[in-house]
Amino acid sequence: MHTLADSLWQADRDLADACLRHPFVRGLADGSLPPWRYRDYVAQDAFFLRAFAQAYRLAAAKCADEAGRALYARLQAGVDDELQLHARAADRLGIELGAVTPNDATLAYTEFLLATAATRPEPCAAAAMLPCLRLYAWLGQQLLPNLLPGSPHGDWVRTYADPQFAQLWAELAPRLELPVVDRDELAALHRRAMHLEQRFFAAAWGGDWLGTPPIALSIAGSDPSGGAGIQADLKTFHRCGVYGQAAITLLTAQNTRGVQGVFLQPVDVVQAQLHSVLGDLGARAAKTGALGSAAITAAVAAELRQRPVGALVVDPVLVSKHGHSLCDDDVVSALRRELLPLATVVTPNRFEAARLSGIEVDGGPAAARAGRALLGCGARAVLVKDVPGLDGDLLVDADGERLFARPRIDTVHRHGSGCTASAAIAARLAHGDTVAAAVVFARDYLVRALASAPGLGGIGPVNHWA
């Protein structure tokens, strides 16, 4: 029977394959892993496993059934077995496990697990913890046939290749099927955990990123103050583990006090930039921001039709958050005609949704109507932001409407928040997320970025390192 756990595993097999290819993992079987790298890994993994056991305890406390509580008790016993493996290695390598200082990759993973187990329903905790069990069992099974007899890390490979270890993930997998959590949220948690597994191996090898990152492209205007536009997009891409490229449509003179000038780039210059980058590295995802003119909009669309990207986020920079027009009507028409048919998701604020659709967005029902009107233009999904009365954003797609609530952060430092949110969505689409999962990630990232804004200048930037 094909289960939800199997579907999530298949969706994230690209990350599992990347882990298997990593020199740290390969070195466990062929003996090429330097001993000091394995020493650091053992120390960090022991810290991680203690947090993992605590996450099991938190999940067990949320179980409504005795069978679930018994399962998590068995899983904790499995962690104890792993810790014994690490204790033997620590004795051999001279590691004082009680004195380990966790690195950033370890903390990112443990904090994710503990926060998920503490604040979300039990199936969410299971989705966050399952990748570790299943990935390690799969890696052990893949490595065992190639394990050299003299490898000093043979115990590691044999422990995780043991069918009894695989039984642990098989017992946990059905907990995802409890009908209390949206499937997209479980998928996002599962993929996030897989990414953190990648990062864990990369940190053990001596770097904090694994393999070749996905590539994203921003097609937007330049903000010399660094808070919005191309600059915000590239900062967001980097924070989200994406290699960012950029094609500049217009230059501005602006700062935290306001915009003093806008200078459109010639159409052929925009075309040349896109022709150059798309003809070389391409992009798993792209996003558009301020385009400035109907001619530039049409040129961008023509280049994207000629050299398609994996996913396109259209952030229609038409109307400010306060309702002030930022472009002429011919740009609105060009967006509807040229770019929306190419869009994976369009991310207008409520004023932009109204201008694109002709429907005043004064609440949830009107936002849904406006979204459906934009779907009629060819977009596959529409995220109407800051919908009055909903305290959040409304995603409209072929499956209907979903609200993504988010708290209101009381700060004037919101410069570039729209660019940042759409760039985060593009980054997660480049990683392979669904639109809904990308929206969840971007919402949470933006809330953190607003809440921790550095407070620079008048209306300052958000914290892109949140």
DSSP alpha helices (H): ranges in 62-182? Answer: 66-93, 104-119, 122-143, 154-161, 163-172
Question: Does the domain spanning 215-451 belong to CATH 3.40.1190.20?
Answer: yes
pLDDT tens per residue, range 392-442: 899 999 999 999 988 888 899 999 999 999 999 999 999 999 999 999 989
Contact 415, 459 (CB under 8 A): yes
pLDDT tens per residue, range 223-251: 999 999 999 999 999 989 899 999 999 99
Rg, the chain, Cα only = 24
- Tokens, residue 418: 């729209």
Provide the b/e sequence for 381-401 (b: ≥16 CB within 10 Å). Answer: bbbbbbbeebebbbbbbeeeb
Q: Residue 160 pLDDT more than 60?
A: yes
How many angstroms from the chain centroid is the CA of residue 277?
23
What is the structure's pLDDT at 36?
79
Q: Residue 300 pLDDT more than 70?
A: yes
What is the structure's pLDDT at 8?
95
Count the residues in the chain: 466
The residue with greater pLDDT, 14 or 343, is 343
Mean pLDDT over each residue of the chain, to the nearest integer: 90
Domain ranges of the chain: 4-205, 215-451
Categorize the per-residue pLDDT at 50 as very low, low, confident or very high, splitting at 50, 70 and 90: confident
222 CB-side CA count, 13 A: 13
Report d(CA 150, CA 155) in Å as an integer.
11
pLDDT tens per residue, range 138-154: 999 999 998 988 888 88
What is the structure's pLDDT at 302?
97
Q: Residue 179 pLDDT more than 80?
A: no
Percent of the chain past pLDDT 90, that is, above it, reads 65
What is the structure's pLDDT at 12?
94
Domain formed by 4-205, architecture: Up-down Bundle (1.20)
Backbone φ/ψ region at 204: left (φ over 0), alpha (ψ -120 to 50), beta:
alpha
What is the structure's pLDDT at 376?
96
pTM of the model: 0.66
Q: Residue 87 pLDDT more than 80?
A: no
